[in-house]
Structure 1
Amino acid sequence: MQYAQLRAFHAVAEHGGFSKAAQALSLTQPAISDHVRRLEQDFGVKLFERGPRGVEPTELGRRLFSVTRQMLSCERDARQLLDSASGLESGTLSLAADAPDLAVKLIGAFRKQHPGIVVTLSIANAAECMQRVLSSTVDAGITAAPQVHSRLEARVLRRDPLVAMVPATSPIAKKRKLTYAEFVQQPVIFREAQSVTQQLLEIELVRQSLQVEPVLYVDGREALEEAIAQGMGVGVIASAEFNESRRIRMIPLQDCQVEMIESLTRLAERPASNLLNALFATELG
């Protein structure tokens, strides 16, 4: 049994598939498949049920996953302990974020001060980011998910109201402000249910007692922006996330009462780390 085989198994179990595991470990899918196959062959066991809808751990696989979760958590804690005893000239940090813009900005500011640190960034939805932090899969998360777990420690990075995005060719693109009542008169595009932006929008619509039948559901901010740019409808976004475009117009929502709060989050219970402390102290400017 090799350590690489256990890491490959853990990644497949955690991410629910071989291709996603390969992305997470920066390996090829055949390499991941080979590691898992050899692990199964060495012990004469079956760790995953493979079917047309993907892979699911067997009962033995679920039990092994609980062991590898502890193994990787201990590995990360040992690395952080050693990091904390050293300077900041070298080392690694792994981060998960629900959007790249703020995360890349923070990483850029951090690496200007500590250019010897290698940072790995993965992108996932807000709920998955929080799960990766809680399971010690990553060192920290940058997400708009509510920071309500008692095991977490967070630093607020940015607060922004929601704004409307409309096609530049739409008649309402000339307006300087919109109310939610005016907004829902347009064909509305919704994000996926796990999106914090979508959850905030639904809170606002309930507060205003407004009913909406969306014309389209999309997964991800990029898909939302492209659908709006093609004139399919309107949507919302946090103001700081808006990318300048000749095809889309951003319009403030004058009766918006919510904010997108994006935070840097880590486990409060983990050993102190000079690297994480330095990241938490980094100013965005």
Structure 2
Amino acid sequence: MPTTLAMLRAFAAVARTGSFQRAADSLKVRQPAVSDAIRRLESEAGRPLFSRTRDGVHLTDFGRQLLADALAAVDAADQVDALLADRRPSLTIGFMGEAAGRRTSWLMKLVRDETNADITLRRYDYADPSCGLTSGQSDLAIVWPPLDDPTIRSLTVASDRRAVALPLDDPLAGRDRVEPSELAGRTWVVPLSEDRAWAEFRTPQAVGITDLRDMVMSGSIEETLELVSVGRGVALVSESTDEHYARANVVIVPLSGNIHCSTALAWRSADRRAVVRRVAEAALDATEP
């Protein structure tokens, strides 16, 4: 049976919402229509696209592989619809924590200048370092590399010094710089994420600290700083964290040495829409203020 756009829309909606009913609601159709579309796609593929569990539906490995191309097809169809109806394009930009503020404003201006699009901003936490790209919730994203997802392309737009978040009463809190070796034997607050490459880059081992007392998991930058402020541990962050997430009882101290992290503009590699390509090309040529 031929694969239809309606089937791909249903597949993308279930992947985005994690629910057949929520997917149906977003598409303004009945839930059995979504279930039938997924059943037909899985029959054509000869393997499941989702695993069904008590806490929702989740993409299988093959489902994740298929999603990138399905989203590209849906995005292209939406662009054609917008052109035929003479509508402005719409873009959702995902971002996370420390990648916000000045960089998000700069990117929004760049997108408006290049596309005249209606822009929606969507905030993400550590659970989704792709900031909605993998699930199809975002068209573009401001991310912290590295990402363990081969379907995503990225372009570095800024660099930042790595730093440590310390409680105000910590003996090192008054320093201008801290050597990583001085932080041995500490309890660390680290991100909780299924993206292994992303999470490992944000652990103390990534800057050469292997002597740890313990680790405490956190789901967001706000939770991380709150745990630091109450003395649960210290955390690896970026120096600019203090610009956007200042806490009265937390001090951000840069690490000594050439230890940096980056902020990147990211998009799905299978997304061939002209509007996304224009933004990527403009970002490549632009210099962030």
Provide the TM-score with structure 1 as the length reference.
0.68
Cα 1:121–1:262 shift into 2, 3 Å: same
User: Corresponding residue for 2:92?
Assistant: 94
Tell whether the 8 Å contact from 1:156 to 1:263 is kept in structure 2 after alignment: yes
Which residue matches 2:31? 37
Which amino acid is 1:263 matched to?
Answer: A
1:262 match: 263
CA contact (8 A) 1:81 1:271 kept: no
Return the letter of the residue paired with 2:95: A
Cα deviation, residue 36, structure 1: 5.5
SS at match of 2:157: strand
Q: Deviations over 1:94-144 (max 9, x none)?
A: 333344515632344236647952113334468955596478664323212
In the TM superposition, residue 69 of structure 1 has moved relative to its aligned partner by: 6.6
1:4 and 1:35 in contact (8 A); partners too: no
| Offset, 1:241 | 3.0
1:182 aligns with 2:182: yes
SS of the residue corresponding to residue 100 of structure 2 reads helix
- Counterpart CA distance in 2 for 1:70 and 1:123 is 24
Deviations 1:169-222 (CA, angstroms, capped at 9, x unpaired): 3333222322222223443222225373652444435x45x3213241112211
Q: Deviations over 1:57-116 (max 9, x none)?
A: 79xxx88x988875542231244578899x9x9321233334451563234423664795
CA distance in 1, matches of 2:33, 2:83: 34
Q: CA distance change for structure 1 residues 77 and 185 in 2, over 3 Å: closer, same or farther?
A: same
Deviation at 1:270, TM superposition (A): 4.5
Secondary structure of 2:187 counterpart? coil
Q: How far 1:272 moved relative to its partner? A: 5.6
2:121 match: secondary structure: strand
Cα contact 2:16–2:137 (8 A) shared by 1: no
Q: Deviation of residue 226 (structure 1)?
A: 0.9
The residue correspondences of 1:1-285 to structure 2 (distance < 5 A) are: 7=9, 10-17=12-19, 31=25, 35=29, 37-39=31-33, 51-55=53-57, 70=69, 72-80=71-79, 90-99=88-97, 101=100, 104-110=104-110, 113=113, 116-124=116-124, 128=128, 130=130, 133=133, 138-146=138-146, 153-193=153-193, 194=195, 196=198, 198-205=200-207, 207=208, 210-242=210-242, 243-255=245-257, 257-267=258-268, 270-271=271-272, 273-274=274-275, 276-278=277-279, 280-281=281-282, 283=286, 284-285=288-289
Q: Are the aligned partners of 2:94 and 2:138 in contact in 1 as well (CA < 8 Å)? A: yes
**Aligned-pair Cα RMSD in Å:** 4.7
Aligned-pair identity in percent equals 16
Q: What number of residue pairs does the alignment pair up? A: 267
Q: Whole-Å Cα distance in 1 between the matches of residues 35 and 236 of structure 2?
A: 51
In structure 2, distance between residues paired with 1:263 and 1:55? 30
What's the TM-score, normalizing by structure 2? 0.67
State how far apart, in whole Å, the 1-side matches of 2:9 and 2:138 are.
14
> Secondary structure at the residue paired with 1:251?
strand
CA change 1:3–1:141 in 2 (3 A) is: same
Partner letter of residue 89 of structure 2?
A: G
Cα displacement string for residues 242-263 of structure 1 (whole angstroms, at most 9, x for unaligned residues): 33332211111114x4321221
Does the CA contact (< 8 Å) of 2:9 and 2:74 recur in 1? Answer: no
